[in-house]
Amino acid sequence: MNLRPANPADAAALAELGARSFVAKFGHMYTPQDLEDFLADSHSEAKVAKEIAEPAMRVLLAEEDGALLGFCKLVMACGWPEHARHERVVELKQLYTDPETTGRGIGAALMDRALEIGREHGAGEMQLSVWSGNDGAQKFYARYGFGKVADIHFMVGEQRDEEFLYARML
C-alpha cells in the first residue's frame, strides 16, 4: 500500500469512493432527496477538486497497484474553536476506506499519517466528528487516544444527525 497526497487528477476517483463509502455505511438512514442533495454537495467531483486545491487542506490517498483503497482529509484549522484545548488545532474531516477493503489496515495507515501531518503542521490537538451510532468508528478512534469532548450535530439534507466531537492532544 502506498500513501500519497492527492492531486487534481484524483478528484473523480475520490468523489466516487467518498459517495460510495457514505452510501454503503449511512445511505439507509436518509430520504432519497436528503441523500441526493448531500452527495451532490459533499461528494461531487467539483467539491473534491476544490478541496485538493485548497492550501488549508491536506487530502491523503491510500492506493495499491493503482487502485484507490481509501483517503482522509485534514483541515489545517480548528473546526470547533469553542471546544479547542490548544491554540493550534487541526480537524480530521473524513477518513474513508473502500467498503470492499475494510479490515486491511488502510484506516490505521491513514490515521497514523494524519497524526504525523498534524504534528508537522505544529498542531497540538486534532478534532473530528463521528456519528453517535457509529460504534465501530468510535472504537477505532479511541484506540488512537481520541475521546468525546462534546455533543454536536451534522446535517444531511434536512435531517439532523447527532454526532460526537472527538479530540486528542498531539
Burial of 63 (0-12, 13-18, 19+ CB in 10 A): middle
How does pLDDT run across 101-134, given as a tens digit for each residue?
888 999 999 999 999 999 999 999 999 999 999 9
Task: Specify the amino acid at residue 35.
Answer: L
At residue 42 the predicted structure's pLDDT band, cuts being 50, 70 and 90, is: very high
Question: What pLDDT band is residue 12 in, cutting at 50, 70 and 90?
Answer: very high
**CA–CA dist 43, 94 (Å, integer):** 11
Q: What is the pLDDT of residue 102?
A: 82
Residue-level pLDDT at 92 = 98
pLDDT band for 13, please (50, 70, 90 cuts): very high
Collapse the DSSP code of 91 into the 3-class scheme (helix H, G, I; strand E, B; otherwise coil) and give the result.
Answer: strand
- Cα–Cα distances in angstroms (integers) from residue 59 to residues 34, 62, 72, in the given order: 26, 10, 6
Instruction: Read off the pTM.
Output: 0.94
